[in-house]
Amino acid sequence: IVILKKLNTPQPIRTGDPISFTLTITNTGDVTATAVSVFDNYDTLYLQYVNSTPASVDNNNDGRLDWTDITIPLGDMAPGDTVKIDVNFTGLADTSKLGAQQPCMETGATCNVAGVGSATGFVPGLPPIAFPPTQNTDEAAIINPT
């Protein structure tokens, strides 16, 4: 299983503007994934969570969004299958003086990390197969124009 996080909103973004990311999860293995947990970590000083499709299980603006099992709303993931999660925020504060936030390397932007925390595959007659965890990042540069 691999995950790609992509900022959809053109930069620079102004404070108060909507910000959209897409999480793309792909089953690159040869086993159908029957349970896939996904997370999205963000900095609440710079981003305010608005909503996501499908909805996360917590929907709190606490810096972490969780989808306990994306196969419940989106279906099992056969080898080669791809599913997407759209996550929407509002820009809260200027990031122009911000240093690089780990694990991201870009200065002047807030780091946003998405990952697959766990994933399980199923082959009839065999015990469940665990996929390794994975993560990906993207940054959003927010400015406060004068």
Distance CA 64, CA 113 (A): 9
Domain range annotation of the chain: 2-143
Q: What pLDDT score does 1 carry? A: 96
Helix H, strand E, coil C: the string for 36-88 is: EEEEEECCCCCEEEEEEECCCCCCCCCCEEEECCCHHHHCCECCCCEEEEEEE
> Would you state the pLDDT for residue 124?
87
Q: What is the pLDDT of residue 145?
A: 78
The pLDDT score that the predictor gives to residue 40 is 98
pLDDT of amino acid 146 = 62
pLDDT, position 11? 87
CATH code assigned to 2-143: 2.60.40.680
pLDDT tens column, 91-108: 999 999 999 888 998 899
Q: Low-confidence residues of the chain, pLDDT below 70?
A: 146
